């Protein structure tokens, strides 16, 4: 059985977490997810 989690960040939380989100995405081979977080922050 597969599990799905949803996480919601406000802008300040994303600013603090963005470097870790991008690093984790890179480690997992999910570069598009890291870019998605960066794009969402830059809006």
- Site of tokens 């960040």: 9
Burial (CB < 10 A; 0-12, 13-18, 19+), residue 31, is exposed
Per-residue model confidence (pLDDT) at position 31? 93
Question: Does the structure show a pLDDT above 90 at 41?
Answer: no
Which are the contacts of 37, defined by CB distance < 8 A and separation ≥ 6? 14, 18, 21, 22, 25
Q: Do residues 15 and 40 lie in contact, with contact meaning Cβ atoms separated by under 8 Å?
A: no
pLDDT in tens, 12-40: 988 899 999 899 999 999 999 999 988 98
The Cα 19–Cα 11 span in angstroms is 14
């Amino acid at each position: 059985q597969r599990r799905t989690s949803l996480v919601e960040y406000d802008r300040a939380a994303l600013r603090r977490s963005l470097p870790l989100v991008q690093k984790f995405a890179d480690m997992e081979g999910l570069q598009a997810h890291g870019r998605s977080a960066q794009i969402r922050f830059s809006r």
